[in-house]
């Protein structure tokens, strides 16, 4: 319970810190990037996204408020792992985003090494995409990225631009973007979608306080959606609430109970509704003047906190929510309408790897996450005789654990879901 408490508190502190940074010294610096932007060049007849009727999945959570032990053998067929190369050029810290495409793995480390690395599916280091620095071909921080058939695009929030590289990581060209954004995706070479989480686009009134907007390749704004005025609500950032999948973008407004999809025809549709017993967090607690009460209710009240970490798949949906400082991990089956929930996890498959840090999936309903190597290396180190580990977890698992050192790169984990 203590670890869960520290975990969610650190998340909430990060959310508030990120939201507040644009209200102080950083705001003037960022806005300087747009002093020469001519609004008439990018604004015109900006329309709102069209909300379409649909047949959303309504997910009911049973045994609400109870600690739920999940044995991983109940949910997964297997847990495979990939050790990433530890050669000097391959070193990363934390992992913020994973994209798997054409037998290659692309990993974004936004804060520690500030780099985007490319590995083979076996973990061999292939390339670093771009370089860090002040030059026109360099980035201060690779904030987000996407991989298309023959190109890699990287955004840098501090330079307010997009940089384009070939698949080997060599720079091709850059485009300056005339507004602040955090995430992006290209539906096509002339249909871009951006996600913002602040209210600092004062120079473009049409998108001020809007969370999602769509442009052409010259950044003329055509559509917008999901109003979130930061002068009214607490400014929050969530890592994984803008998720391109299956020719759509799945989007979750922070602490809402709904996941929407955005399609290429400019329509918004409700895809999933989380049916929590006490409903979503009342709007009162999301107001700027009530942020202290917001921090208090996360440990005292039985509201479900659904910040927005989710992964859509063909047959399943993975998502996380918090209730009284306890994280609950959920896999929902679209076929059987059943949800498997775990707040306390037991890895009875190999006893080594943790079921957390889930960031993406493969095409065959395999969840992909990661684990820091030091959590394995420190725990399965020389503190106990080897034969005791063999007796507890078996020879094969002991051999896997002892080959992972604390200083190694993070370990990628692949959780293959059972039909349920």
Domain boundaries, position 53? 2-417
Least confident stretch, 170-179, 277-286, 330-339: 277-286
pLDDT, mean over the chain: 89
Comparison of pLDDT for 65 and 369, the residue scoring more: 369
pLDDT at 366 over 50: yes
Q: Select, from the ranges 11-25, 136-150, 196-210, the one with the highest average predicted confidence (pLDDT).
A: 136-150
- 143-187 tens-digit pLDDT: 999 999 999 999 999 999 999 999 999 999 999 999 999 999 999
Confidence of residue 15 (pLDDT cuts 50, 70, 90): very low
pLDDT at 403 over 90: yes
β-partners of residue 272 are 57, 259
Confidence of residue 135 (pLDDT cuts 50, 70, 90): very high
pLDDT at 27: 44
Helix (H) or strand (E) holding 82: strand 76-83
pLDDT at 5: 41
C-alpha–C-alpha distance, residues 139 and 160, integer Å:
10
CB 298 within 8 A of CB 290: no
pLDDT at 63 over 80: no
Mean pLDDT on 236-249 = 89
pLDDT at 213 over 80: yes
pLDDT at 10: 44
* Of 181, 179, 184, the residue nearest 154 (C-alpha): 184
C-alpha–C-alpha distance, residues 154 and 127, integer Å:
14
CB 206 within 8 A of CB 46: yes
Comparison of pLDDT for 376 and 231, the residue scoring more: 376
pLDDT at 278 over 80: no
Least confident stretch, 36-40, 79-83, 95-99, 379-383: 379-383
C-alpha–C-alpha distance, residues 222 and 217, integer Å:
11
Q: Could you please report the per-residue DSSP string of 351-389?
A: SS--S--EEEE-TTSEEEEEE-HHHHHHHTSTTS-HHHH
C-alpha–C-alpha distance, residues 120 and 116, integer Å:
14
Q: Select, from the ranges 63-77, 352-366, 377-391, the one with the highest average predicted confidence (pLDDT).
A: 352-366
- Strand stretches in 132-209, DSSP E: 144-147, 152-156, 161-165, 171-176, 183-188, 191-195
Q: At 310, which CATH number?
A: 2.120.10.30
pLDDT at 30 over 90: no
Domain count, the chain: 1
pLDDT at 31: 65
Comparison of pLDDT for 52 and 23, the residue scoring more: 52
> Cα separations (Å) of 45 from 176, 188, 215, 395?
22, 21, 12, 66
Comparison of pLDDT for 189 and 237, the residue scoring more: 189
Mean pLDDT on 349-357 = 95
pLDDT at 276: 85
pLDDT at 9: 41
pLDDT at 107 over 50: yes
pLDDT at 336 over 80: yes
């Amino acid at each position: 319970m203590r670890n869960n408490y520290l975990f969610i508190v650190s998340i909430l502190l990060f959310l508030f810190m990120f939201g507040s940074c644009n209200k102080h010294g950083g705001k003037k610096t960022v806005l300087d990037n747009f002093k020469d932007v001519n609004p008439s060049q990018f604004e015109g007849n900006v329309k709102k996204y069209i909300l379409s009727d649909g047949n959303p999945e309504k997910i009911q959570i049973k045994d609400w408020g109870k600690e739920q032990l999940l044995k991983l053998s109940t949910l997964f067929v297997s847990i495979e792992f990939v050790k990433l190369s530890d050669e000097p050029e391959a070193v990363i810290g934390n992992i913020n985003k994973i994209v798997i495409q054409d037998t290659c793995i692309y990993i974004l480390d936004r804060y520690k090494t500030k780099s985007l690395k490319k590995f083979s599916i076996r973990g061999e280091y292939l390339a670093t995409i771009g370089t860090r620095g002040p030059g026109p071909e360099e980035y201060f921080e690779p904030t987000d990225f996407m991989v298309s058939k023959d190109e890699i695009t990287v955004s840098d929030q501090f330079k307010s631009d997009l940089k384009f590289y070939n698949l080997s990581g060599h720079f091709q060209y850059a485009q300056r973007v005339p507004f602040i954004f955090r995430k992006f995706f290209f539906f096509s070479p002339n249909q871009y979608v951006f996600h913002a989480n602040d209210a600092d686009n004062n120079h473009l009134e049409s998108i001020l306080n809007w969370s999602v907007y769509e442009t052409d390749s010259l950044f003329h704004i055509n559509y917008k959606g999901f109003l979130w005025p930061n002068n009214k609500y607490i400014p929050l950032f969530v890592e994984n609430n803008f998720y391109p999948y299956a020719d759509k973008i799945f989007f979750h407004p922070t602490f809402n109970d709904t996941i929407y999809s955005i399609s290429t025809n400019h329509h918004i549709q409700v895809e999933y509704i989380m049916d929590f017993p006490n409903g979503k967090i009342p709007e009162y607690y999301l107001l700027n003047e009530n942020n202290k009460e917001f921090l208090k209710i996360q440990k005292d009240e039985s509201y479900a906190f659904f910040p927005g970490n989710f992964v859509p798949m063909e047959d399943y949906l993975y998502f996380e929510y918090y209730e009284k400082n306890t994280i609950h991990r959920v896999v929902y089956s679209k076929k059987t309408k059943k949800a498997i929930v775990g707040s306390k996890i037991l890895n009875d498959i190999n006893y080594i790897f943790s079921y957390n840090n889930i960031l993406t999936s493969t095409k065959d309903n395999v969840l992909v996450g990661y684990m820091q190597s030091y959590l394995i290396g420190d725990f399965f180190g020389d503190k106990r005789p080897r034969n005791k580990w063999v007796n507890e977890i078996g020879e094969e698992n002991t051999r896997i654990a002892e080959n992972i050192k604390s200083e190694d790169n993070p370990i990628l984990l692949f959780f293959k879901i059972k039909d349920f």
